[in-house]
Structures are given as structure tokens and as C-alpha cells.
Structure 1
């Protein structure tokens, strides 16, 4: 076999391959054997039809076609290895010559990983938010905890904001009660905004037994998006009572004996959260700087596939689980279809470039992933997917996704390497030390940028 490679652009090549006919022998034998099992010829047992009879009855062309289809993947792989290119996705193959007994010639065009020169990233500087926990932050945290331990007690007065009311609802469209427009004994906190627009104004000021009618656009159900006449009847009013902020509350709501200890723990927890957010922010901004420094061409077909994958995952998985259509989602987001398309393309370009440059850095620095690192990553991915580690591991193995997980961990290590070399300063001008940065956290950052799709190499 002879092969040659022609570079069409930085991300695409054309392989030209010539195969002497004798190298098709194994595939020809396999083709005759396969046809033998599929056809019947009078006077011959199944599977025992001579090759010359098959040629006469069904045509030599059918045999050659079967043999070439069987042989092409092998010769293509040999040509790829000989050219030392890294193909992405499936090739576009064109058979240019097929002479029976003489020669098979074909071309294969395929996208490849571009050659990337890693820039000097030691001079990268970024600014991040300072880790500051104020007394107001602590008060808000404790207040949220206090809200969770609120109690409700029935009252004989008009309902006011913050009260919990028990209500019956009836919705009509064009004067007809909707089949799914009646609900009884619904518990609703006034001011929470969890039900229909206009309901807060309707029930405020009503006592138990009071009734009001208002117009609202329905957010779901059989008449979603239509204006409905809604009748609401208040059957009970309860006031929410918050526990006193004292040591007794601390003992009720936590493992601490005093309110001061509870507040100290809240401060520490908020500091840890803000430090995590600060590290993530540093990773994202350092990555953006790295991408700005590097020249990274993106294959057109790969970009098209990535955009389609992202749109499919959003529309059929994420939105599907929430019962939302893409149109409704864009309406909630206040975006046009054109804005959504442009944003998705930008995200896809960034995701592909991120994979390319971090993979190159992994190879250059010879970064390896050990079993412990892979197990830790698998445990985190299992937790985020809602599956047990065993279930997730089984799904990963069965789906052939282990290399993908290894790639995610390795890219996290590569990004951590870049962040460690960069200068990170907070908004107060204080340099932030991220030398002990969690590589697993960096893997999460990379995963968020690259999305669910993986740039796959297929030979």
C-alpha cells in the first residue's frame, strides 16, 4: 500500500491511498463467504457455491463492492498511522479507481487536531474578587436558618404579606372552567411569588372565608400562556412566627450551644464558600487569558457537530426534564433565536479550543492520571448525576466513557498548572496564593466550559 497526505488547511487533510489488488485477497475471501451464506443456488449446498458461480449469477461487481467496504477501514487506518495525523470524526471517502485484479485507489478527507504552540503563560495576570465576609452576610445566613425553623399559627384577621394562607382556586378561560383549573387546600405564603401573578394582591386583606377574582396568565397546564379568570377563596390564615435569636435557637438549629458559636461557624463556612468561588473565578479568567494568547484553529465540521450536540442536550435533556420548550426558554431568558444561536456557537468554540490547548499541555508536560484521582473524579460525577458510585462506574464502563473521564481529570491538572504559574490578585490588591489549588475543582471548571460533548478521535 502507498499513501500520501495533503494539508488542505490547518484542521483538514486529504489522504491519497493506492492498494495493490493482492492486498484485497482476505477481504475478497470474506466477501464470497458472506454472499455464500446469504444466497441460494439450485444444485449447490448453502455455503458451498463456487466463486465463479457467484460471479456469474450475482456479478463480480457485487463481490468487489463487499470486499472494498470490508477493506477500506483497515487501509484508511494504516494511512492515518503512516501520515502521523490525529483525525477527528469520520472521514469523507471517495473511491477514485477500482481495477479488478490490478488496483484500488481512494482519497479520504478528514478533520484533524491542529498543531498548537503552547504560549508562555507565566506572565498571565488576572484579578478576582476578594474573600470578604461581612456582618451583614452572617446576619443573612443566620436569618435564612431562622426561616427554616419558623412555625405557623392560625390567626383571626386579614391576611398580610408573609402570612401562610390555605386557599381554593378555580380558573376559567372564555367562561369555561378548565379541566385542570381547580385546586383545593393549597398552602401559599403571601409574597413568595410561587403561584400565579396577581394572587398576592388578591388575597392580601382577605380573612378566612373571603373570596376574590383576578386575571392572570397561566404558567402551565392545558391552557398555558392564556389569560384566565381566577377565583381564589381563603379558607384559613396563619401567621409565621420566627424563633428568638438566642442560645436556645442555636441549640435547636445546630450542634452548637451558643448563638455566638453558630455565627462563628457561619463566618467560617461563608469564607470557605467564597474561597472556592474565588479559585473558580481565577481558573476561568486564567483560562480566558490562555486562549487569547494561543492561535487555535477550529475544524468547521467539528464545530457544527458540537453546536448541534449542545442544542440537542439543552432542548431534549435539560429543558425536557423541566417541561419547557426551547421557545418558552428563550422567552424566559429574553433572547432571540439569533442571539441564542450566536451564544451557543461562541460557547462551542471556547469549549473546543479549551480541549485542544489543555490536551496539548497534558502531552507536553506528560501529565498522568492515577487510579486515586480517577476514582475521586468518578465519585464526584456520580454524586452530581444522582447515581450511586457503583451505578455510575458501571454506566461509564459500558458506555466506553473511561477515556473521557481520564481526559477531564488530565485537563484539570493542566489548568491547575497554568493557574499556579499565573499572578492572581484580588480587588484589594492582595496577591492570592493558589499553589495548593484543588485539581479536581479545576476539572469541574474545565468541564463547565467544554460541556458534555467530547472531542473524539476516531481512526
Structure 2
């Protein structure tokens, strides 16, 4: 077998492989002799078909099958011979397939890049720390009391934050339309659940009222039959309910605390908050380390792996739409390219760190990780057995443990800056950002006022 290697671009390699014709002709002849024993043709006794008849009838097909097998086998022999590591399946193209002559074909593929790991001391990480303060615990308990609250009927006019129980029938130009009718529909006022303008017209109504709600469906409404049209909803108010937060003892009982002891409930809630806080800090650090690793390394990416990742992400997107391909018309690769490239790059870096540092799977850490994942479920033992009973599922946990080991290694060598924040800032960053923005706006306006004042002076 003759092999020549060509670097076409970046990580792309092109092998030109030559195989002696005798290897193909010999295998093809053997296969045709086997066919002569098993084939049935009119005019010939079983097993007595002349070889020239078999060759004339099946020769081209047999030869093509043999060539296909030889090309695949020869390709893998060639990459072993040349000490190459393909990053994806090859694109095989025949050059010469003429009978009686040597076979020649090309195989084009990507190889894995050589990755030079950067010094971890150049990696900068902001280590966010926080603790569960008494105020955080009080706020969480208040939130839980609200979430578990009861709805109590009231004999007054409805206002925002109330729940109204209504019957309604919608019509457009006097005709009812599909999806425009409901009985005893529970609607929370002021939350924007319904078409713009609908809820506002129910504020001020009371039990027994019958009102006509006039609205216009948005132009981009999902039901195209009613989009942009005026509608009239004949609406009857069956009930007006207000939310009544649970008492502390009631909440304790609902959370399964024995005898409804408030002190025990607080201990349990704090423990849960501290566990969630620890997970959030770990997750945040992990993301920072991974982002820093991607940023710190620069190397060519195997297109085959990126394309494979793009296809996986497309498949995941399809599953999110219920597996209906028609709901994802021609999604362009560009939509997934950046995320796919980053994931592939990170995977290659992590694999190289594991390889160079000889990091092995620690089964004790795997057990700890399993127990940690299972602890949030009512039947933790069943969750642990769920993973242990399937090698594929268990390997996913082992991979997580390996990633954690990589994070610990990088973090130990990185430049770490500790930043202390509140529980809310860490667990509810959007709320914190909103609060910070409001504060910044106030400061900016104050600065403007001072500037105008000094100009006046």
C-alpha cells in the first residue's frame, strides 16, 4: 500500500492511497466463487453455475463492494501507518478503479490540533462568596408563605394581584372563534396573562358582574385567524379572591416539619438555602474557569467536530419543538456556530488537561457526586440506582467528576480575586442588576442636576 500525505489547509489532511489490484481482484474472485455455490439461475443446477456467468451477471456489483471495503480498511491502516488521529470521518473519493489496475483513492479529513496548554497562573478568576444572612432567611420564608398561600373569596371590587374566576365567550364580528371560550377560568389580575387590555377592564368588577371586554388581538398573535382583529368578550365574574399568606406554623406543616415546629422549619430552610448557595458559587466559578480557558488558548479547530456539534444542537432544538421538523425551517448553521465552536474548543482543552496531568476517575468522588445529585429528591436511593444501573448514565457522572477535577486544578494555579456579595446578588442576578441600574440612573440624574446647578451659578 502506497500512501502520500498532503496538508490542504489548517488541520485538513489529504491522503492519496494506492492499493495493488491483486488484493482487490483476489477478494472479488473469492466472493464470486461463493456466489456460484449459493445463487440460483434458470437453466443451471444449484452450485453448478459457471464462474464466467457469475462474473458477467454479478461481477461489477461484487467488485464495487470489495473496493468499498478495501478503501475503508486501507484508510484506517494508512492513518495508523502515518500516526495520524482523524477528528471525524473521511471524505473518500476514488481516483482510479479500473479493473486490472491498482486502485487509487483520496481520503480528506481533519486531524486533532496540537494544544499547548497555557500557564494556569495567567488565568484570572473572580471568586464570588456569600452567606445566608438572617434577612435572607426571613425573605425566603415570606416568599414561601406567598407561594403556598390560599385564595380566599372577598366581597369587594377586584384589584391587581387579586384572582378572578370568570366565564367568558369571545366573538369577532358577532361570531364565536376557536379558543375564545372558557368557564371558571382563574385569572390573576395585573400579570399580563391575557391579551393586552383584557385584565385592566376587569379591575373594579365584583362577584356577579357581567361585562363586555373589548380588545384587539396583536398583529403577531400566534393564532393567525384572529391576529390584528377586534374582539368582544362577554365576561361574567363568578368570584373575586385575594391571596392570604400562610401562617408560619401552617407553612411548617405544609413543608412536612414534624409538629409544625417553626424553629425546625427555619433550620431546614437555611440548610436548603446554603446548599443552593454552594451550588451557585461552584457553578459560577466553573463557568469562569471554562470561559478563561477558552479565552487563553488559540488553536485551529477541526471543522468536522464543529459540524458534528452544530448538528447535535440542531437536534436538541428540534426536540424542544416537540420533534416537529416543520417548526424549524432551514435553521442556518451560523445560528449555532459560535456556541458549537466554543464547546468543541473547551472539550479539547479539558481533554488535554486530563491527559497531560494524568487525571483519573476517582470512584469515591463519583459516589459523592451521585449522593449530591440524589439528595434533592424524595427517594435518593432510587436516583443513585438509576445512574448505577446504566453505564452510559454513569459515564456522564464520571465525566462531570473529571471536569470538576480539572476546575480544581486550574483554580489552584490561577490568580483568584475574592468578591463578597449578598445572597440575593448571587442567586437573583437579574434583580440585582435592575437594582444597580436604578441606582446608577439616580446617580447619573443627580450628577446632571449638580452640573446644571453649577452652570447656573
**TM-score, length basis structure 2:** 0.76
**CA distance in 1: counterparts of 2:97 and 2:402, whole angstroms:** 45
1:319 is matched with: 321
Shift, 1:167, TM fit:
0.5
1:11 is matched with: 11
- Structure 2 unaligned runs (5+)? 422-457
1:71 is matched with: 70
1:28 to 2:28 alignment:
yes
Shift, 1:296, TM fit:
2.4
- Secondary structure at the aligned position of 2:350 is classed as helix
1:162 is matched with: 161
Per-residue CA deviation, residues 349-392 of structure 1 (Å, 9 max, x unaligned), is 100101111112222222233666667778969x99xx977777
Larger Rg: 2
2:289 is matched with: 286
Shift, 1:393, TM fit:
7.5
- Secondary structure at the aligned position of 1:129 is classed as strand
1:418 to 2:417 alignment:
no
Alignment of 1:194-343 (within 5 A): 194-210=193-209, 211-217=211-217, 223=225, 225-227=227-229, 229-231=231-233, 232-245=235-248, 249-251=251-253, 253=255, 255=257, 258-314=261-317, 316-320=318-322, 325=327
For the aligned residue pairs, the C-alpha RMSD in angstroms reads: 3.8
**CA distance in 1: counterparts of 2:368 and 2:246, whole angstroms:** 41
- Secondary structure at the aligned position of 2:97 is classed as strand
Assess if the C-alpha contact under 8 Å between 1:27 and 1:70 holds in 2: no
**CA distance in 2: counterparts of 1:345 and 1:13, whole angstroms:** 22
Mark the CA change 1:184 to 1:66 in structure 2 (over 3 Å): closer, same or farther.
same
**TM-score, length basis structure 1:** 0.75
Alignment of 1:286-435 (within 5 A): 286-314=289-317, 316-320=318-322, 325=327, 344-369=336-361, 409-428=401-420
Shift, 1:100, TM fit:
3.2
Mark the CA change 1:270 to 1:373 in structure 2 (over 3 Å): closer, same or farther.
closer
**CA distance in 2: counterparts of 1:317 and 1:171, whole angstroms:** 34
Mark the CA change 1:93 to 1:354 in structure 2 (over 3 Å): closer, same or farther.
same
How many residue pairs end up in the alignment?
Answer: 410
Deviates more, 1:275-284 or 1:236-245: 236-245
Assess if the C-alpha contact under 8 Å between 1:31 and 1:66 holds in 2: no
